[in-house]
Chain A
Amino acid sequence: MKRLFVLCVVALASVACANRGPAVEIKPEEAIGVAYDKSVELATAVAEAKSYEEFVAARAELERYEEAMRTQIGGEDYEIFLQSANEVLSNIK
């Protein structure tokens, strides 16, 4: 029973990791670049996806960076990250 439980946990963890990819690590000195440029690049990839699969992958990548900015950097840089991404996402014509 115990073994089965451990096996299930390991399987769930590996599925979760496989879907999300490795965690993004942002150094404080890179925060400005990520906030201004990387967010636009990632959001543009989401907006310009040519298929649903491409969109899902681009969205996951954008959300990984959003999470990293929120948990590791925060503050004004995180706000700028969101603003830049929002600007691109709201300008899809």
Chain B
Amino acid sequence: MKRKIFAILGYTALVAVVLLLSQCESGVTLTTPKKDAQRIITMAQGIESEEELKSIEKLARKYEIAYERMYNGAASLEFKRLTNDALREASQICDDIHAKNDQLKALQDTFSGSLDMLDAAWSHEALSAEQYDEAIKKNELRVKKINAKIKQAEAEIQAYSDKLIEAGYPADMLEELGKMKEEVTKYESMIKVVENESRVLTLTYRLQSGNASVESTEPEEPVADEEPITEEPQEQTAE
């Protein structure tokens, strides 16, 4: 009898140790799937960055694994079911934050870019009207030439694409097509550089000759069709 009791006690202790060890291994303390899921949901609702999302997802995964090891697949699935929507929403919020940050970055880049361009225009040596016209014409010609190269490259790409289809998309031809497309991108960025140069020249000429002005972007206020206000004759009361 005594031996049996010891055996049962020993077995219980062993199970407790195994359970404790598995909790320590997963690094999370389990309560119930509902309570733990609620904890994850609350954390997911207050998400503010991609790093936070990643750490919450990692924690949720730890819970899932711990539930699977400690109890059974059903508890783990229950936990997953309860947290799924909140994590998906958090991921969406994260995407929105990402998009907003990109938009802000673009605004900041435009801001500093415009100021740098103005600085370049002021730092540029002054241009006479003739010099300015000549430089602009030169740049227009450069753009025309690059555009012609782009057209030619695009025609070559089209012809090569047809050959590629006929050949059944071999890797070497795909690589070659990639190179051809890169060439077009290079030409396009060259155009941007020249256009930027022209913009600096225009600003240089206008700013340094004192002809620059800021064009109003505000829409003109519509003039309301008001009827002329006519004063009503005051009644004079004869005393």
Q: Which of A6-14, A15-23, A48-56 contacts B (4 or more CB under 8 A)?
A: A48-56
Write the nearest CB–CB distance from B66 to chain A, whole angstroms: 39
Is B21 at the interface (CB under 8 A from chain A)? no
Q: Hey, which chain B residues are within 8 Å of A48, CB to CB? A: 212-214
Q: Hey, which chain A residues are within 8 Å of B119, CB to CB? A: 55, 59
Is A90 at the interface (CB under 8 A from chain B)? yes
A5 and B55 alpha carbons, distance in the complex (Å): 44
Cross-chain contact of B214 among A59, A78, A86, A93 (Cβ < 8 A): A93
Pairwise interchain contact A79-B115, C-beta atoms closer than 8 A: no
Tell me the count of chain B residues lying within 8 A, CB to CB, of chain A: 22
Q: Hey, which chain B residues are within 8 Å of A49, CB to CB? A: 122, 207
- Contacts A46-B118, A52-B122, A55-B122; A89 near B111 (Cβ below 8 A): yes
Chain B binding site: helix, strand, loop or mixed by DSSP? helix
A85 and B109 alpha carbons, distance in the complex (Å): 12
Q: Hey, which chain A residues are within 8 Å of B152, CB to CB? A: none
Q: Hey, which chain B residues are within 8 Å of A93, CB to CB? A: 206, 212-215
Cross-chain contact of A91 among B103, B110, B122, B214 (Cβ < 8 A): B214
1/0 per residue, CB under 8 A from A, across B119-163: the answer is: 100110000000000000000000000000000000000000000
Closest to A43 in B: B214
A83 and B213 alpha carbons, distance in the complex (Å): 19
Pairwise interchain contact B118-A89, C-beta atoms closer than 8 A: yes
Is B233 at the interface (CB under 8 A from chain A)? no
Pairwise interchain contact B203-A92, C-beta atoms closer than 8 A: yes
A44 and B115 alpha carbons, distance in the complex (Å): 12
Contact count A vs B, C-beta below 8 Å: 65
Pairwise interchain contact B212-A89, C-beta atoms closer than 8 A: no
Write the nearest CB–CB distance from A47 to chain B, whole angstroms: 5
A91 and B115 alpha carbons, distance in the complex (Å): 13
Pairwise interchain contact B111-A66, C-beta atoms closer than 8 A: yes
Kindly identify, within residues 178 to 224 of chain B, every residue whose CB is under 8 Å from any CB belonging to chain A. 203, 206-207, 210, 212-217
Pairwise interchain contact B114-A86, C-beta atoms closer than 8 A: yes
1/0 per residue, CB under 8 A from B, across A29-60: the answer is: 00000000000000010111110100100010
Is B92 at the interface (CB under 8 A from chain A)? no
Is A88 at the interface (CB under 8 A from chain B)? yes
Pairwise interchain contact A89-B115, C-beta atoms closer than 8 A: yes
Would you mind naming 19 contact pairs between A and B with Cβ atoms under 8 Å apart?
Answer: A46-B115, A47-B214, A48-B213, A50-B210, A55-B118, A55-B122, A59-B118, A78-B104, A79-B104, A82-B104, A82-B110, A85-B111, A86-B114, A88-B217, A89-B114, A89-B115, A90-B110, A92-B207, A92-B215
Q: List 14 additional contacts besides A52-B123, A83-B107; criterion CB under 8 Å.
A: A47-B118, A47-B212, A55-B118, A55-B119, A63-B115, A78-B104, A82-B107, A82-B108, A82-B111, A87-B217, A88-B214, A90-B114, A91-B214, A92-B215
Residues of A within 8 A of B (CB): 44, 46-50, 52, 55, 59, 62-63, 66, 78-79, 82-83, 85-93
